[in-house]
Amino acid sequence: MNTSSSAWAFELTQLEATIREKLGELAPPKLRFAPGPLPEPLTAAEDVSAANAPEPSADERARASKLAATIADEKLRNLVARAAAASLAGSRSGRSI
């Protein structure tokens, strides 16, 4: 996976086991992080698609918060919890987010 800097690549590499543990059975056998090109920002069409995404249920939000609970940085923890909740809601509805 590409990161925006070598510092992030190093940090995420140090957290690889924790990340794979949190992903559970969805985790690949190995994660590799390196500085490199990041995905382009969303286009207007993709923004509309995201706006039509299913709303996470209370249970999905709770599961996502539990998954992100060990992240020390509050801002990052909240972002990860939101992304996880959206992913859970997307998998429930059959949509990939």
The pLDDT tens digits of the residues spanning 27-62 come to: 899 999 999 998 888 676 655 555 667 889 999 999
Give residue 71's pLDDT: 93
User: Do residue 58 and residue 90 come from a single domain?
Assistant: yes
Confidence of residue 97 (pLDDT cuts 50, 70, 90): very low
Give residue 43's pLDDT: 72
Q: Is the pTM of this model over 0.75?
A: no
User: Do residue 28 and residue 62 come from a single domain?
Assistant: no
Query: Does residue 47 fall inside a structural domain?
Result: no
**d(C-alpha 13, C-alpha 15), whole Å:** 5
Query: Does residue 5 fall inside a structural domain?
Result: yes
* Cβ 37 vs Cβ 2: under 8 Å: yes
User: How far lies 4's CA from each of 35, 39, 44, 67, 79, in Å?
Assistant: 6, 10, 23, 24, 17
What's the structural domain count of the chain?
A: 2
Structural domain including 80 reads 54-97
Q: SS3 for 23? A: helix
* Cβ 32 vs Cβ 62: under 8 Å: no
User: Do residue 62 and residue 94 come from a single domain?
Assistant: yes
Mean pLDDT of 70-84: 92
Query: Does residue 43 fall inside a structural domain?
Result: no
Confidence of residue 5 (pLDDT cuts 50, 70, 90): very high
